Structure formats: structure tokens, C-alpha cells
Amino acid sequence: MLLDIDISGLIPKHMENRGKLTLKENLKIIENILEQRKVPENGIDEEHIKLLLRILSFMDTDKDPNVIQIGEREARVYTKLQRESVFDFCHGVGRSGNLIDPQPKAPGASVMYKLTNKLLESFLKSLGLNVKAIATPVATGMTISLSLSASRKKYGSNVVIYPYAAHKSPIKATSFIGMRMRLVETVLDGDSVKVEVSDIEDAIRREINNKNNPVVLSTLTFFPPRESDNIEEIAKICGEYDIPHIINGAYAIQNFYYIDKIRKALRYRVDAIISSSDKNLFTPIGGGIVYTKDESFLKEISLTYPGRASANPIVNILISLLAIGTKNYIDLMKEQKECKKLLDELLNDLANKKGEKVLNVKNPISSCITTKKDPLDVAGKLYNLRVTGPRGVRKNDKFGTCYLGEYPYNYIVVNSAIGVKKEDIYKVIEKLSKVI
Ligand SMILES: *Cc1c(COP(=O)(O)O)cnc(C)c1O
């Protein structure tokens, strides 16, 4: 029992019992989370989440009324506004040497972090992924940096083999830690832009022949026309050559198309998969999720993080997991899938009307429609029509298309990501029809 209070004699006994029963039932919700360490099937409400966070933050030493503080860092925070921004976990998480190590000044925050990681694991398990996981206090790109750095430390990796996908974060994640990147070029296959696994193998072989230690950074989630990398085949090859394999799965957790690919890849060499907390778990931007079957590699990633971190991104992940629950998340995944289907139907109608076409690229989240107009202009008009999210890409934009030659079409990308509503889809098509 979390709280055994003495209120005897203040009110009639039968009322006292009734009150204690209600309190007990409410506290039980929190106790269950602490005991079972699993994401509940049905999300729990904010008041219980708040109380759980309050109980944990009351365990941190800065809340000790008789504490004597003589360190250079004592979680002295000037305003309540600031306290609230970190849910009163003013000491943050981690120790300077290891992100996931318990912090002696902050037993409560340490429990909170450990609990979050356990919940993450149970959440991923409920989606079919049997992995170890940690929440990171930085977003996807920086979490990729941490993972690459861990690969360098553990395996002596000195070059990142990157099947070309035009996102600046993974490219900067590599330059940030001072590693060289070797791009593997994409090829055109119908409307799809993809990277041949044999070309990746070729790059691996060349680097090994040059006495280098490559690590492969593959991409699972991307805008069409770039297809997902074939992570299963890449994982097989990485196994054969005994080199590390890190997967950028920024928004992979929201759709079973990606989860199935991850499951298959996990049978071979996968050192870490990185996903975004905001793209998958409805948190504000700032957190990441790393998961793998290789627990020792997770530890290595945690060791690379320099210093302590803000508790905020971690708490946000915890709150989302508790508030959403597994059942509701699966429902949201279904809704995402239905919205994507609707998007494709409506986009096809629109394309027929306008003499355009929907690009034939397998993607469970995003679709592209061609345009004869300037796609940047179309995207600008959509922005002014208060639509956010679409990307307009010119066929000669080698970065945008992920293709180093000239792509056959100008196009607009529209996304149906988790959280989207059918209304959004109807409305974006209506706006698109005006400007395309
Ligand atoms: C969103 C995204 C990133 C970058 O994520 P941040 O969380 O902003 O660092 C990297 N790669 C891909 C494929 C993405 O979709």
C-alpha cells in the first residue's frame, strides 16, 4: 500500500472506511504500474500520472526538507515555472559517465528513467518486437550520433556506409562525431528510388580491403520515391562481414509494415534501431528511442552520452506510454492505415482529373502526386492555405529526390502519419486540387 494514513476519529468510522477504500483503489492504479512495469492496455488518466511523477520526484534529495547542499550542482531552480518544465526532476537523469546509471542525488528520477525503459520494452513487445530499449534525451539525429559513436568505441568503426537518403540529420549525425561517410548511390526502379544491396556489399568490401572498419547506417522510413532499405538483406550481409548495422527507423514504430521488416532484420545483424519519440509517441520534440536485441550495445550507447541530461524528454515518453496505453495505440495505428488508404484513393481521383499521377512507390505513410507546375510554388501555396507537412520536390533536386540523376517527375509528398484524421485528408485534397 502506497499510503497508510491515520485519519481515525475525524469522521464516522464507516465513512473513514469508504474514503480509504476509494483512496486505495486510486493508488492501486499507480501501484500496478510500479509493480508490473508494463504499459497498461488502457491508458491511465493525467491525475494518476501526475501523482506517480510527484511520488517519484519527492524521492529526489533536493526534496529532502533537511538536506544540506554543498555541491556545485544542487538542483537549485529559481522558479516554479522551471520546475514544472521538468516535472520537478530538477537533477535530471544519468551520471556523467553513463546515461542510464542511477544518480545518487536523484533516486526518484533514476526510478522514473528505469521505469520508462521497462515500459518502452513492454510497449515494443506488445507490437511484436522482442528487444531491449532505452529512451534517449535527444532526438533521432543525435541518437544516431550516440549509436555511431558507440560503434566506433566498441568495434573501432571509422567509416559510415550510408545508402543515400536525403535527410540532413543522419548526415550531420556522422559529421558531428567526426566520422567519414561513404555514400552508396541510389538507382531508379520504375518510380522508386532505391539502393541495391549488392552496391552496399560492394562498398563494405572496398572499405574492408582498404583496411577500414565500416558501420552501415541503413534507412527504414523515408519519403517516397525513396524506398525503405532492404534491412533484412543488409543485416544478413553485415552478419557475414561481421560489421555493425544501425537502422534509422525515425517513424517506424507506428506501422506494421515497418515493424515486420524490423522483426525480420533482427534475425541477423542489427546493433541498434533508432526511432523518434515525437513521430511515434506523441511527445514534444526532443527524445529518441533506441532498441536492439544486443543489450551490451545499448549500454555502450548509454556510455557515450557526455554528462547528465534533462529529465524532460524521458518523462514525456513515460507520460505518453501511460496515457495512451497499448490498445489505444493499436487503434491509432489502424486509423493511420485507413487514412493512408483514403489518401491514396483521393489522390488517384485528383491525379486522374488533373492529368497527373500518383507515384507507384511502396510506402505505408506517404504518397506523392506529380505536378506540371513548380512543386516549390505549389508547396508554398499550400503553406499559405494553412496546410503544413507537404513537400514539393523538383525533379532536378538531387537532394530532395534522393536520386543523383534527374528524376522523371516534379512531385508533392503528402503524409498520413499516426495521429492524422480523415478530415485532414479530405481537406488537404481539397486544397491540393486548387493549387496543383
Ligand atoms: C525525422 C527524421 C530524422 C531526424 O529526426 P530528428 O528527431 O529531427 O533528429 C532523421 N531521419 C529521418 C528519416 C527522419 O524522418
Residue ranges of domains in the chain: 1-36, 107-326, 328-435
For residue 111, the model assigns a pLDDT of 97
Residue 187 confidence (pLDDT): 97
Read off the pLDDT band of 181 (50, 70, 90): very high
What are 187-226's pLDDT values in tens digits? Answer: 999 999 999 999 999 999 999 999 999 999 999 999 999 9
| Contacts of 50 by beta carbon, 8 Å cutoff, 6+ apart | none
Q: Is the pLDDT of residue 125 over 80?
A: yes
Give me 179's grid cell: 566520422
Grid cell, residue 152, equals 566506433
- Entry field: residues in the chain: 436
End-to-end CA distance of the chain: 62
Cell numbers representing residue 114 in the block: 528505469
- Say how many Å lie between the CA of residue 430 and the centre of ligand 1: 28
292-301 pLDDT, tens per residue?
Answer: 999 999 999 9
Regarding the domain delimited by 107-326, which CATH topology (the fold level of the hierarchy) does it fall under?
A: Aspartate Aminotransferase; domain 2 (3.40.640)
Which atom of ligand 1 has the smallest separation from the CA of 276? 7
Q: Which residues line ligand 1 (CB under 6 A)?
A: 139-141, 167, 169-170, 219, 221-222, 248, 250-251, 276
- Same fold across 107-326 and 328-435: no
How many Å apart are CA 59 and CA 304, to the nearest integer?
A: 27
Q: What pLDDT, on the 0 to 100 scale, is given for residue 331?
A: 98
- Across residues 354-359, what is the average pLDDT? 97
Q: Provide the mean pLDDT of the chain.
A: 96
Residue 182 CA to residue 372 CA, distance in Å, equals: 34
> pLDDT at position 157, please?
98
Task: Report CA(250)–ligand 1 centroid distance (Å).
Answer: 5
Q: Could you tell me what percent of the chain has a pLDDT over 70?
A: 100
For the cut 90, the answer to whether the pLDDT of residue 346 exceeds it is: yes
Residue 1 has pLDDT above 80, yes or no: no
Q: Which positions are annotated as active-site residues?
A: 73, 95-96, 103, 167, 250, 279, 308
Which residue's CA is minimally distant from atom 14 of ligand 1?
A: 250
In ligand 1, the atom with minimum distance to the C-alpha of 288 is 7
Strand, coil or helix: what is 113? helix
> Furthest-apart CA pair in the chain: how many Å?
84
261 compared with 399, residue with greater pLDDT: 261
pTM, full prediction: 0.96
pLDDT of residue 4: 85
Instruction: Give pLDDT tens digits for 17-52.
Output: 999 999 999 999 999 999 999 999 999 999 999 999
- In contact, 290 and 143? CB cutoff 8 Å: yes
Architecture of domain 328-435: Alpha-Beta Complex (3.90)
Between the CA of 252 and the centroid of ligand 1 the distance, in Å, is: 11
CA of 329 to the centre of ligand 1 (A): 21
Counting atoms of ligand 1 from 1, which one is nearest the CA of 221?
Answer: 13
The model's pLDDT over 73-117, given as tens digits with 9 standing for 90+, comes to 999 999 999 999 999 999 999 998 899 999 999 999 999 999 999
Give the pLDDT score at 66.
96
pLDDT of residue 423: 97
Whether residue 416 has pLDDT greater than 80? yes
Q: Of all residues in the chain, what percent are helix, strand and coil, respectively (each to 5)?
A: 50, 15, 35
Sign of CA dihedral 253, 421, 347, 284: negative
CA dist 184 and 201 (Å) reads 10
- Residue 2's pLDDT is 78
Q: Report residue 404's pLDDT band, with 50, 70 and 90 as the boundaries.
A: confident
Q: Whose CA is nearest to atom 12 of ligand 1?
A: 250
Q: What is the pLDDT of residue 96?
A: 85
Q: Report the share of the chain in percent with pLDDT over 90.
A: 97
